[in-house]
């Protein structure tokens, strides 16, 4: 038995509490897989074995004293956009290649407090400003289901690590789909929580309400358990409290009969790949079979909204604190976004913000009769590595990224919770994510429905064939 292949995070935590497995053993196995399988998928920028093993020993002591939390001892990772004390944090950029922070971000403290054992920093695009993960100085993050395809971004390394069974869950973040797009490309679960549920950490709120931390996991229940950990952080900037009885508990509750709206089009106007559209149709049929009321509602194209959202995304890229003499060392797409953002005066920024707010309001009004909206996560199958990057035409690259991500920006604009579930698979094993969006603050309902779907159409048997066939049972624990 390979605990990283055969067990979810919660199952692994349970085995640790029963003393059937040791935390140090499992951590050692995860570090070994990170160096082999993790390297093959470009999952990590930096590994921290000494820190991880010390934390593993501490977690084992907590378990031995019966003081462990739900996920104590489970191996995980931190996205390389989050500061980690004493551990290199590159932000995916050559400019920060040697930066070693002297403080941990709040999200790191929360995961440490819960007894999770993070083994390293997961790969990100430069400053998180792309929907593919191909940073300078590090290997590109690849989908473990097809190594020629990108793991998407910006949480691409985290999604690749989880999908490749190096770790069962990981922390990520999302400004324009950066949790959900990688989840779709890698065949796992990615949840963007409601606006204000989680603290923004050391960086605070982005000022526009677009960004949030969130979980990536093999299963819905694992994602819910990690959300409980993240929601337990000090409520810096939070605007409503987490669910009192826990998000994991919500996964076991009876799901009422819900009104489900299916919107198969993209707000960007991008044509939806027929295989992706078929996965959405299959999800709708499954929801109807589960007893929910399913109807079709069109998703209008809104180029004005997409352009205004791109303005705000560019402004956030421009706001990143980069040394003045280092701009020339940034990737062309990052330089383009920063120049675009800096070119917006106060009036233009206000106009873009108001446009995004108005469009978000219209979207919410259009789907006001639905408890949950079902849409494609991304508009097509995962892009091939290098396909979206265009250093010679960064404006064209931004347009290509916008076309690829499609509807993910809607939940960042509305602040609604949205989750990508791996409900579609091609005949050769390429995953297709389907996105479910609930109303603001209804993260518990969204997780309950997602858990119901997973029970009806489980995906655990979809192992990444390109890797598991080569490493069916890595040495370490049998």
**What ranges do the domains of the chain cover?**
3-468
The one catalytic residue in 110, 154, 155, 194 is: 154
Instruction: Indicate the fold that domain 3-468 takes in CATH.
Output: Amidase signature (AS) enzymes (3.90.1300)
- HEC sequence for 370-403: CCEEEEECCCCCCCECCCCCCCCCHHHHHHHHHH
Q: 3, 96, 2, 12: which is closest to 46 by C-alpha?
A: 96
Do 140 and 460 form a contact (C-beta atoms < 8 A)?
no
Q: 188, 190, 213: which is closest to 200 by C-alpha?
A: 213
Tell me the per-residue pLDDT of 312-371, one tens digit each, with 9 for 90 and over.
Answer: 999 999 999 999 889 999 999 999 999 999 999 999 999 999 999 999 999 999 999 999
Spell out the alpha helix ranges (H) of 114-204: 156-163, 180-186
Which of 40-44, 133-137, 153-157, 256-260 is least confident?
A: 133-137
8: how many CB neighbours lie within 10 A of its CB? 19
Q: What is the mean pLDDT of residues 37-54?
A: 98
Position 206 scores a pLDDT of: 81
The one catalytic residue in 79, 121, 192, 320 is: 79
Examine the residue annotation and report whether 178 is marked as an active-site residue of this protein: yes
233: how many CB neighbours lie within 10 A of its CB? 22
Backbone dihedral angles phi then psi of residue 136, each to the nearest 5 degrees = -70, 140
The one catalytic residue in 178, 184, 310, 314 is: 178
Examine the residue annotation and report whether 79 is marked as an active-site residue of this protein: yes
Q: Which two tokens stand for residue 170?
A: 């990981």
The β-bridge relationship of strands 431-438 and 418-425 is: antiparallel
Position 34 scores a pLDDT of: 97
Examine the residue annotation and report whether 184 is marked as an active-site residue of this protein: no
State pTM to two decimals: 0.96
Give me the residue label for tokens 């085995």. Answer: 15
């Amino acid at each position: 038995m390979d605990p990283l292949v055969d067990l979810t995070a919660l199952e692994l935590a349970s085995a640790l509490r029963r003393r059937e497995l040791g935390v140090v053993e499992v951590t050692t196995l995860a570090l070994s897989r990170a160096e082999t399988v993790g390297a093959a998928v470009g999952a990590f920028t930096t590994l921290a074995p000494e820190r991880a093993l010390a934390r593993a020993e501490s977690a084992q002591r907590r378990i031995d004293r019966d003081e462990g939390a739900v996920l104590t001892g489970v191996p995980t990772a931190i996205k390389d956009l989050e500061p980690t004390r004493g551990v290199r944090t590159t932000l995916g950029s050559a400019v920060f290649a040697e930066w070693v922070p002297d403080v941990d971000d709040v999200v790191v403290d929360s995961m440490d407090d819960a007894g999770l054992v993070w083994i390293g920093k997961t790969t990100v695009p430069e400053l998180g400003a792309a929907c593919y993960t191909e940073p300078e100085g590090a290997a590109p993050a690849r989908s473990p289901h097809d190594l020629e395809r990108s793991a998407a971004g910006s949480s691409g390394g985290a999604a690749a690590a989880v999908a490749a069974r190096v770790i069962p869950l990981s922390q990520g973040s999302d400004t324009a789909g950066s949790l959900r797009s990688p989840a779709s490309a890698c065949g796992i679960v990615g949840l963007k929580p409601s606006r204000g549920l989680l603290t923004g950490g050391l960086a605070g709120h982005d000022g526009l309400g677009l960004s949030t931390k969130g979980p990536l996991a093999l299963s819905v229940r694992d994602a819910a358990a990690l959300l409980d950990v993240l929601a337990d952080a000090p409520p810096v900037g939070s605007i409503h409290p987490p669910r009192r009885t826990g998000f994991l508990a919500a996964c076991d509750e009876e799901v009422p009969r819900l009104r489900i709206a299916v919107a198969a089009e993209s707000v960007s106007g991008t044509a939806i790949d027929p295989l992706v559209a078929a996965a959405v149709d299959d999800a709708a049929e499954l929801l109807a079979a589960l007893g929910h009321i399913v109807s079709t509602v069109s998703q209008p194209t809104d180029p004005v909204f997409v352009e205004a959202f791109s303005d705000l995304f560019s402004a956030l890229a421009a706001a990143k604190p980069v040394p003045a003499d280092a701009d020339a060392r940034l990737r062309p797409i990052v330089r383009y976004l920063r120049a675009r953002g800096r070119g917006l005066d106060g009036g233009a920024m206000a106009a873009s913000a108001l446009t995004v707010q108005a469009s978000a309001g219209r979207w919410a009004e259009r789907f006001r009769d639905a408890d949950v909206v079902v849409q494609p996560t991304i508009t097509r199958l995962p892009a091939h590595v290098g396909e979206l990057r265009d250093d010679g035409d960064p404006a064209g690259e931004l347009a290509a990224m916008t076309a690829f991500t499609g509807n993910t920006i809607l939940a960042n604009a509305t602040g609604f919770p949205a989750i990508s579930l791996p409900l579609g698979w091609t005949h050769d094993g390429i995953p297709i994510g389907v996105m479910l969006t609930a109303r603001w603050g209804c993260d518990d309902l969204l997780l309950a429905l997602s858990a119901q779907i997973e029970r009806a159409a489980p995906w655990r048997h979809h192992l990444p064939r390109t890797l598991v066939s080569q490493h069916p049972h890595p040495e370490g624990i049998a």
